[in-house]
Amino acid sequence: MSALLLLGTACQAVEPASETVPEEAGTIWYSNLDSEAARQEVAARLIGAGITQERVNTVLDWAADYNSCMRGCKGFTLVGDFTPASDQAVDYGEYYPMSNQWYKVNGRDYQDILCRIAAFELLGDKITMQNLLPREEWACEDNDSGWLYSDWNILRGRQETGDMPAYVPNPQISWDDAELARYFTLFGPVSIPEGCSSNELAGYIRAEWERRGISFTEGDASLITLWLCSGSHTAAGHAAVLIEDKDGLLLFEKTNPESPYSAAKFGSLLEVEAYLTEMLRLDDARYGIERERPLVLKNGEPIL
């Protein structure tokens, strides 16, 4: 999530499980879905918010595959049932142990699902795009200039070039060309004046999404995007799905490439925004990156 856009068991029908109620206001309760109880609870809330069971099954299959592959990773411990976090965010540690476990220990020759792909798989039929970007504007194939090249590598693979290894497409994803066009239209970078304020930034994103004909089905499930800037462009460096229902707020996300899936419970949108920005700050601090506080959007509007 910290590097802008370059890093960015089948479930049956379930009855809602009894939920863990936070004992203290402001405490983040989270799970990496590494228990059947947590998977059932998360599935029930996603489906209850209007996301189709097929889409929920697909993403939770991805999470189950990830957990089976990464449970032995020395960089973190997967959490099963919902557990209180010790801080405002959850630190999964350095990238290298995760990368080593994914590629070397498990012998994967494809890149893992990332946040934007997981969020789009869940909410794809709740997002409308009337004016799809033409193929030449997807900005996804060139490692040097494509803002979404990591997404392209996952979805369509990559040939070996110089010191960069080849990857096959992630075999868990079966999107056709029409779905790819919708995906890259939604997450394609937005042109901005350098140095614009957060309010101005939100306005430029809103105007560009209107030009692309992007709109959202309003309801209990929303797309959360965290926007990062680089020069004269901005794009969603992270994406997640927010559920707002009678049981409170649940944020579902793939936290980073090769890092865990997470479902986290919050008491307010302020806590959600603070969590997302703190997660980014942790990664930035680890790699010596300094930047201004990012803009967080709920569908097309600032979350706060």
Mean pLDDT of successive 10-residue segments in the chain (304 residues)?
A: 38 36 69 98 98 98 98 96 94 95 96 97 97 94 86 92 86 96 97 91 97 97 96 95 97 95 97 96 92 94 94
pTM of the shown model: 0.91
What are phi and psi for residue 282, nearest 5 degrees? -60, -45
Task: Output the pLDDT for position 163.
Answer: 73
Tokens 């089948």 label which residue? 10
Task: Output the pLDDT for position 5.
Answer: 39
Give the distance from CA 97 to its chain's centroid: 20
Give the span between the Cα atoms of 146 and 188, in whole angstroms. 10
Q: Helices 53-70 and 115-123 sit at what angle, rounded to 10 degrees?
A: 160
Task: Output the pLDDT for position 15.
Answer: 35
Asked whether the CA dihedral 40, 46, 52, 55 is positive or negative, the reply is negative
Task: Output the pLDDT for position 7.
Answer: 38
Give the span between the Cα atoms of 186 and 172, in whole angstroms. 21
CB 3 within 8 A of CB 146: no
